[in-house]
Amino acid sequence: MKRQIPLVLVFTFGVLLAIQYFVPSEPSQRGYEFVLDWITIIGIFAMVLGIWSQIHVGYYKIKHRSEDWQYSVVTLVSMFAMILFGLSFFGGLHGTIFRLIYNNIFIPIQATIFSLLAFYIASASYRAFRARSAVSTVLLVAALLLMLRVIPMGPLADPINKIGNWMLLVPNLAAKRAILIGVGLGGVATALKIVLGIERSYLGKD
Amino acid sequence: MEQTVSMGTILWTTVGVFLTFCMFSFLYKDNPFYKFAEHLVVGVSVGYWAILLYYNGINPNLFSHLFVFTNDPTTGAEFNTWKPKFDELYYIIPALLGIAMWTRFSRKYSWISRYPLALYLGISSGIAIPVTMKNNVLSQLRGTVVGLGFDWSASGFLGVPQGIWDIVIVVGTVSSLIYFFFSKEHKGAWGGAAKLGIYTLMIGFGASFGYTVMARISLLIYRIQYVRDWWKMIF
Amino acid sequence: MTLHDRLLALDRRWVFGVLVLFVITPLFIEFSVPVTPVKEVREIYDFVEGLKPGDYILISLDYDPGSLAELHPVAMAMLEQCYAKRLKVITLTLSQTGAQMVEEAVKDVADSCKLYHGFKPERGIDYVYLGYKPYPGLIILGMGMNFRIPFPQDYYGTTLDSIPMMRGIKNYDNVKCVINLSAGNVSDMWVADGNARYGVKLALAMTGVMAADYYPYYQSGQVFGIIGGMKGAAEYELLCKNPGTAAEAMKVQVFAHIVIILFIITGNLAFFLGRRKTAPTQESR
């Protein structure tokens, strides 16, 4: 029962929702709305798992004095501080301190984490991007042509722009289309495997 | 007209710039400032998300069906009076299913979480099958062949008739798909088509790399502009 | 140590230092870079320009602080264009860490309209910010039936039916188009769940990392325009006659791209020099 009922649920709802796409009748649309409404609520509760997981990991590191456990204190204190300042008493989502922390702590750090990638791409361009074979040379030349579009090249600007546009709308399009078709077929196959109960890893162990 | 900046704004922006440099310090080597900022952002983001989930998630989508909400006459916003509403009490069922998800962490009761998870997977898989088929496969196949004009009169890229480029797209797409078909050995004509496919794919990846360089540099530029604006504010 | 050995063994911190120099220097030099809008960006601009006052448009700003640099300029320019044209703008976000950032963008641009256009768009009458919900795919599907399914209230807790501009507005059939600004796979969900399922007229603005991947959708007609990366953002700002951070950043991009190309050439030169040096040694064996 612990494994059979979930499999029956997956099959029933999977088939119903797949068929619903082709049935535009009023009861079908009502049922679809109902399902979407409920599943959104279930999903919101599932999100709480992530928050609990973060608290649990931090607590475990502090309790067992793992390596760098002091930083877990920083994580937990900042999390609870943010939750405290987000309560209605302090103005909720629109509270002053809540917004200030978001704008002056969260945004700068988050944005800077991603900006570090600029340095790594520069390093990779210098140390790893090699024209070792014909295939990698093609990749290198394509990348260089697209990068040259950004640089004002005077009389060469127009031809480079045209070649860049051609590259995006002909060979790049063909390549990405093939990937999209492959991903689509793979996605449909995986969804079918889940609905038919062939893929059962989500059930976990007994 | 010069605008005066408040001391609060200067202080908070200085905190932001300090944390920016804490993150940049990682480029030299890993250090306590970087670790502090990294753990701080994790805590702040989880706390922010928890509050957002309550005010934008559970409160409007669940509590508005279970409890009576009234209007605040000044702001127009609705607030929860916590008085139970009985006409939509069936919304307790998705709430219970959602809470059942939380048993995932219990060794003894984790099997309960399979039911709402199965519901979620069944619904999303069922929806995905026709939509993915239409979006990723049928529309793309239509765009590859039917949507193309094979117009020999209109001038396409580089002065070549558009019809030629349409054929190039078809050949490129088919050869790239052949490359990904590993159930048949890449030999002979099939191998030749796969080789053409890999070259087409490399042009695609090169285009992506070119764009990626611009994307990554953009992020760095924005941070430098932020520090520069702070500097102008102070001095 | 030969030159190519030294080049190959160069500490990456020198590479970082050179990059920083090439990024900071142009910010202190006054010059501009010519930007030519491409067809796929112009189509989005022309479509929005072609809308009439009172037409509804949905802008889904699904990006987070990590992609602020590329998408915020597009958001600002596009919101100002929509407000100036007196369109009814429905905004929302499906990015879990971007909700407040998007709210401030929507409000700040509305506030700035008073200065530049002589009027200030009013929340609830000219624009609405629905806020954030998790599971983008489900939200996009839900909005296709009725906006009230995923968003019974807006970000400020006001029921949608109490908002003047949302009365009588049910789903995508009531909006002229959807423009999605995203940094992740939410764009895929808009194309699949929005366009494929409901036939929504869709345009995408995305980070440079993803832009090249969406040209198949553009060619097949599933999306009617693509704004790709900072270059696309600068093009859109130019079309809106509203140069901002993207336009300024393009001059820095020129210098940065030159240095990256030099890195690639230098690295490959060092590599090939090294290979030529070892090849005769192997032949002599």
Q: Are residues A140 and A80 in the same domain?
A: no
Which chain A residues are Cβ-neighbours of C149 within 8 angstroms?
33, 36-37, 40
Nearest to B60 among C16, C152, C228 (CB): C152
Which chain B residue shows the shortest CA-CA distance from C67? Answer: B219
pLDDT tens column, B187-204: 899 999 999 999 999 999
Residue-averaged pLDDT of chain A: 92
The answer to whether the CB atoms of C221 and B147 lie below 8 A apart is yes
Q: Using only the alpha carbons of chain A, give its radius of gyration.
A: 26
pLDDT-derived band at C285, boundaries 50, 70, 90:
very low
> Does residue B76 register a pLDDT over 90?
no
Asked if B13 is an interface residue toward chain C (Cβ–Cβ < 8 A), one would say: no
Q: B60-63 — which CB contacts under 8 Å span 24+ positions?
A: B60/C151, B60/C152, B60/C153, B60/C157, B61/A37, B61/A40, B61/A41, B61/A44, B61/C133, B61/C150, B61/C152, B62/A41, B62/A44, B62/B91, B62/B94, B62/B95
Nearest CA in chain C to A166: C215
Residue spans of the domains in chain B: they are 1-87, 91-143, 148-235
Read off the pLDDT band of A150 (50, 70, 90): confident
- pTM given for the model: 0.92
Whether residue C284 has pLDDT greater than 50: no
Distance from CA of A37 to the nearest CA of C (A): 6
Q: Which of A142-146, B155-159, C65-69, C154-158 has the lowest mean pLDDT?
A: B155-159
- The per-residue pLDDT for B13 is 95
Q: Which helix (H) or strand (E) segment is C38 a member of?
A: none
Q: Which residue has the tokens 């790709």?
A: C228
Tell me if C263 and A140 make a contact (CB, 8 A cut-off).
no
Q: Give the pLDDT confidence of C200-209 residue by residue, as tens digits.
A: 999 999 999 9
Residues 159-188 of B with CB under 8 A from C: 169
Q: Does the structure show a pLDDT above 50 at B6? A: yes
Task: Write the residue in A116, A162, A175 that is nearest to B176 by C-beta.
Answer: A175
- Confirm or reject contact between A137 and chain C (CB < 8 A): no
Domain of C108, CATH number, reads 3.40.50.720
Of A164, A121, A115, A171, the C-alpha closest to C261 is A121
Q: A205 lies in a domain?
A: no
Would you say residue C233 has pLDDT above 90? yes
Domain residues for the domain of A25 are 1-85
Domain annotation covers residue A68: yes
Q: What's the CA angle centered on B108, arms B105 and B110, to 5 degrees? A: 45
- Is pLDDT above 70 for B228? yes
In a domain, C139, yes or no: yes
User: For strand C177-182 and strand C226-228, is the pairing parallel, antiparallel, or unpaired?
Assistant: unpaired
Please check whether residue C249 is in contact with residue C69, taking contact to mean a CB–CB distance below 8 angstroms: yes
Model confidence band, residue C265 (pLDDT cutoffs 50, 70, 90) = very high
Residue C126 pLDDT class (50, 70, 90 cuts): very high
The alpha-carbon gap from C52 to the nearest alpha carbon of chain A, in Å, equals 32
pLDDT at A2: 83
In a domain, A50, yes or no: yes
For B99, list phi and psi in degrees, rounded to 5.
-65, -35
Q: Which residue has the higher pLDDT, A173 or C280?
A: A173
Query: Residue C9: which pLDDT band, with cuts at 50, 70 and 90?
Result: confident
Query: Residue B1 above 70 pLDDT?
Result: no
Q: Is the pLDDT of residue C42 over 90?
A: yes
Q: Tell me if A141 is assigned to some domain.
A: yes
How is residue A68 written in tokens? 């760098």
**In whole numbers, what is the pLDDT of chain C averaged over residues?**
92
What pLDDT, on a 0 to 100 scale, did the predictor assign at position B3? 62
User: What size, in residues, is chain B?
Assistant: 235
Asked whether the predicted pLDDT for residue B33 surpasses 90, the reply is: yes
Number of domains observed in the structure of chain C? 1
Q: Tens digit of pLDDT for each residue in B92-141?
A: 999 999 999 999 888 888 889 999 999 999 999 999 999 999 999 999 99
Same domain for A7 and A69, yes or no, is yes
C245 touches chain B (CB under 8 A): yes
| Percent of chain C's residues with pLDDT above 90 | 80
- Whether the per-residue pLDDT at C124 is higher than 50: the answer is yes
**Does residue A109 belong to any structural domain of this protein?**
no
- Distance between CA atoms of residues A150 and C246, nearest Å: 13
Q: What is the pLDDT of residues A110-125, one digit of tens each?
A: 999 999 999 999 999 9
A165 falls within a domain = yes
pLDDT confidence bin for C23, thresholds 50/70/90: very high
The three-state DSSP-derived secondary structure of chain B is: CCCCCCHHHHHHHHHHHHHHHHHHHHHCCCCHHHHHHHHHHHHHHHHHHHHHHHHHHHHHHHHHHHEEEEECCCCCCEEEEEEECCCCHHHHHHHHHHHHHHHHHCCCCHHHHHHHHHHHHHHHHHHHHHHHHHHHHHHHHHHHHHCCCCCCCCECHHHCEHHHHHHHHHHHHHHHHHHCCCCCCCCHHHHHHHHHHHHHHHHHHHHHHHHHHHHHHHHHHHHHHHHHHHHHHHC
Which chain A residues are Cβ-neighbours of B174 within 8 angstroms?
178
pLDDT digits (tens, 9 = 90+) for A18-76: 999 999 899 999 999 999 999 999 999 988 899 999 999 999 999 999 999 999 999 99
Quickly state the pLDDT bin for C283 (edges 50, 70, 90): very low
* Per-residue pLDDT band at B2 (split at 50, 70, 90): low
CB pairs under 8 A between A and C: 133
Angle at A123 between CA A110 and CA B211, to 5 degrees: 65
**For residue C39, what are the contacts with CB-CB under 8 A and spacing of at least 6?**
none
Q: How far is A1 from chain B (nearest CA, A)?
A: 10
pLDDT digits (tens, 9 = 90+) for C269-282: 888 888 777 665 54
The verdict on A80 and A138 lying in the same domain is no
pLDDT of B43 over the 90 cut: yes
The residues, ordered by sequence, that sit 6+ positions from A44 with a Cβ below 8 Å of its Cβ are B53, B57, B58, B61, B62, B98, C134
Please check whether residue A80 touches B, CB under 8 A.
yes
Which domain, by its residues, includes C57?
39-251
H or E stretch covering A129: none
Domain count, chain A: 2
Q: Do A10 and B198 touch (CB under 8 A)?
A: no
Q: Do A80 and A141 lie in a common domain?
A: no
Residues 6+ apart with CB under 8 A from C129: C91, C92, C102, C103, C106, C107, C123, C154, C155, C156
| Cα separation, B165 vs C219, whole angstroms | 13
Whole-angstrom Cα distance, residue C11 to residue C21?
Answer: 16
Band (B79; pLDDT cuts 50, 70, 90): confident
Burial of B87 per CB tally in 10 Å (0-12, 13-18, 19+): exposed
**Does C93 reside within a domain?**
yes
Nearest to C19 among A110, A118, A130 (CB): A118
Q: B-contacting residues of C 116-175, CB under 8 Å?
A: 124, 131-134, 137-138, 141, 150-153, 155-159, 162
Q: Is residue A126 one of the residues assigned to a domain?
A: no
In the predicted structure, residue B221 carries a pLDDT above the cut 60: yes
pLDDT tens string C109-123: 999 998 888 899 999
- Which chain B positions have a beta carbon within 8 Å of C137's beta carbon? 124, 127
Out of C99, C159, C193, closest to residue B78 by CB: C159
